[in-house]
Amino acid sequence: MNEKILFTDKEISDSLDVLAKELDMYISELPKDEQDKVIFIGLLCGCIHFVSDLTRKIKSDHKLDFIKASSYLNNKRGDLTVDMNIRSIKDNHVIILDDICDTGITLNSVVTKLSNDNPLSIKTCVLVNKNIPNKKHIPDFKVFDVDDVFIYGYGLDYNEYKRNLKDIRIKIDW
Ligand code: 5GP
Ligand code: MG
């Protein structure tokens, strides 16, 4: 398979240093008595390496939980399924972590569902944001921007494989 590395592991790691500082700053600007009420919620499976690497660079105290959300089947969009079996987020500042925001349908749907639990706030943070028109959600924090291309590696799958790549790649002979 002919492929090209879009973002190297070094580029990803350096960018996560910057994002972690940004998130620490955001948390430090919350009201003092709410700074220990921060919960990161990762959207499995794509978020795994992003969550693991990012949260270990964040200095602020926080809780961590996961939701299983999936919408792709064989590289094509299927029905969105969201498993909301998580701890209570009531009176917490929620920061949702996902691998990529494409149409924004997934994040829009997860934010709507989580809002029902009366959190203090909900922010979204993604590793990659796709620049496409008519997005249903614009992430509050992001690391990389890409055009409307299919990418994989570093948690992002290629037909369920390739999540273990340390970098992010794009196939160049479709
Ligand atoms: P959205 O609902 O924003 O269109 O898509 C969100 C989900 O679709 C992402 O969390 C990710 O799992 C999957 N997705 C979207 N674009 C890509 C891509 O380029 N590569 C891979 N592997 N997954 C993608
Ligand atoms: Mg995903």
Residue type, 95: I
Span from the CA of 120 to the centroid of ligand 2 (angstroms): 24
Residue 44 CA to residue 119 CA, distance in Å, equals 21
Residue 145 CA to residue 129 CA, distance in Å, equals 5
Residue 38 CA to residue 12 CA, distance in Å, equals 24
Residue 85 is predicted with a pLDDT of 73
Span from the CA of 163 to the centroid of ligand 2 (angstroms): 11
Cβ within 8 Å of residue 65, ≥6 positions away: 39, 40, 41, 42, 86, 87
Q: How deeply is 174 buried, as exposed, middle or buried, from its count of CB atoms within 10 A (0-12, 13-18, 19+)?
A: exposed
pLDDT digits (tens, 9 = 90+) for 34-80: 999 999 999 999 999 999 999 999 999 999 999 998 765 555 666 67
> Whole-model pTM?
0.93
Using the predicted structure, report yes or no on whether residue 22 has a pLDDT greater than 80.
Answer: yes
| Alpha carbon nearest to ligand 1 atom 17, residue | 150
Residue 18 CA to residue 57 CA, distance in Å, equals 9
